[in-house]
Amino acid sequence: MLKSKILGLFKSKKLNMFLLFLILAFSILILTKLSKTYTATIAFKVHAKHVNDTHVIVNSNATNLNITLETFGFKWVKYAFKRPELDISLKNEISKQDSTIVWSASKDFSTINNQFDKDVKIISIQPETLVFKFDINAVKYVPIKLDANIQYAQGYNTLDEVKTNPDSIKLIGPSSVLNQIKHIQTQKISLESVKNNINQNLLLKLDSLNRTVKTDLDRVNLSIKVSKFSEDIVSLPIEIINIPNGKSINYFPKQVSLSYTTSLENYKNITNQDFKVVCNFEEAIDNSYLTPYIVKQPKDVKNARLLQQKIEFIITE
């Protein structure tokens, strides 16, 4: 019964007319309020413009101006939804000394006033002056550090030096900030069972850079030629160096086995003469054995290793 009465009220023409007049009255009240002139003070975030190319501002993030304005209520509405911002010009700074620039509101009043509509009146600007710290722009090249985990499929590898192109990045900013930057890292890349060539663009991790540091590079290329690889073992003679004058030695074995891998394209080009193995007599271990070292190998081989690590010897007069 009660539900029926309530529904009846909403269907009533009298109630509909009442709601319509209520909405109209409320709208007129709001329009009347917004059409009046109000005075208030708002904190504006400041962006410094027209900075000398050789300088960079290092404390602009903490700069605000408290500006007292007089204008209609309509104009005030937009400030309720978004923090207001202003540009100021450092062309007419009061002074420049000890790595600081002093800006004057009175000297730069026209720049500020031009950013408001004609029906907005600026009553006051506080503070009258702002002090900006600046540093001299410097240029620094730092290496790009590749963050990669690449696992090749069995029997596949690369002869390329795995690095990005370019492998360094140009940074421009305050020398005090650049001195702390040692490298820039790429986004992480993980690849498994790789059989085909790699050609990918990688974004650089620039989010951690100070806002005063600029660069025109945000990504690099990673290009790797992947080939089918083969393993081989060769037998190489040993050369003994630094034998003292007047002494001779006899050693065994006279040759060592060396294993290596290379691409199938280069396999036929590799010969024994491309390798050299020596033992340094001055580094003899307890005068009982020598340790062989690879001192020469072609650039187109990988994973070269000696299968014998000890060469026995005796000294003969």
Which are the contacts of 55, defined by CB distance < 8 A and separation ≥ 6? Answer: 101, 134, 135, 136, 137
Question: pLDDT value at position 294?
Answer: 97
Residue 6 domain-assigned (yes or no): no
Question: pLDDT value at position 312?
Answer: 92
CA–CA separation, 127 vs 104, rounded Å?
9
Note whether 304 and 258 are same-domain residues: yes
Pairing of strands 189-194, 148-152: parallel
Note whether 273 and 310 are same-domain residues: yes
SS (H, E, C) 154-181: CCEECCCCCCEECCEEEEEEEHHHHCCC
Average pLDDT for residues 163-179, to the nearest whole number?
A: 91
CATH number of the domain encompassing residue 175: 2.170.120.40
Look up residue 218 and give its amino acid.
D
CA–CA separation, 231 vs 22, rounded Å?
91
Per-residue pLDDT at 196 exceeds 80 = yes
Cis amide leading into 127 (omega within 30): yes
Note whether 45 and 122 are same-domain residues: yes
Note whether 253 and 236 are same-domain residues: yes
Segments in the chain forming alpha helices (H): 2-11, 13-35, 73-77, 109-113, 175-178
Q: How many domains does the chain have?
A: 3
How would you list the strands of the sheet with 289-290, edge to edge?
248-252, 311-316, 289-290
Residue 17 domain-assigned (yes or no): no
Residue ending a domain, among 194, 225, 256, is 225
Average pLDDT for residues 193-210, to the nearest whole number?
A: 94
CA–CA separation, 260 vs 230, rounded Å?
8
Which are the contacts of 241, defined by CB distance < 8 A and separation ≥ 6? Answer: 278, 279, 280, 281
Residue ending a domain, among 184, 202, 225, is 225
The pLDDT tens digits of the residues spanning 246-275 come to 888 899 999 999 999 999 999 999 999 999
Residue 256 has phi, psi (to 5 degrees) of -125, 155
Contact predicate 129/103, CB 8 Å: yes
Range of the domain at 145: 137-225
Residue 235 domain-assigned (yes or no): yes
Q: Which residue has the higher pLDDT, 215 or 37?
A: 215
Cis amide leading into 244 (omega within 30): no
Residue ending a domain, among 225, 254, 281, is 225
Question: pLDDT value at position 219?
Answer: 96
Q: How confident is the model at residue 137 (pLDDT cuts 50, 70, 90)?
A: confident
Average pLDDT for residues 98-106, to the nearest whole number?
A: 85
Q: Count of alpha carbons within 13 Å of 21, Cβ hemisphere only?
A: 6
DSSP 236-263: EEEEEE-PPTT-EEEEE-SEEEEEEEEE
Note whether 241 and 312 are same-domain residues: yes
Task: Select from 56, 233, 263 the least CA-distant residue to 158.
Answer: 263
% of residues, the chain, pLDDT over 90: 45
What's the distance, CA 109 to chain centroid? 38
CA–CA separation, 103 vs 91, rounded Å?
9
CATH number of the domain encompassing residue 309: 2.170.120.30
Note whether 45 and 59 are same-domain residues: yes
Q: How confident is the model at residue 316 (pLDDT cuts 50, 70, 90)?
A: confident
Contact predicate 244/282, CB 8 Å: no
Note whether 242 and 292 are same-domain residues: yes
Note whether 102 and 56 are same-domain residues: yes
Residue 262 domain-assigned (yes or no): yes
User: Residue 146 gets which letter from DSSP?
Assistant: P
Note whether 47 and 122 are same-domain residues: yes
Residue 13 domain-assigned (yes or no): no
Note whether 239 and 220 are same-domain residues: no
In DSSP terms, 106 is beta-bridged to none
Residue 5 domain-assigned (yes or no): no
Question: pLDDT value at position 285?
Answer: 75
Note whether 41 and 119 are same-domain residues: yes
Q: Exposure of 16 by Cβ count < 10 A (0-12 exposed, 13-18 middle, 19+ buried)?
A: exposed
Note whether 166 and 84 are same-domain residues: no
In DSSP terms, 96 is beta-bridged to 101
Radius of gyration of the chain (CA): 39
Look up residue 51 and give its amino acid.
V
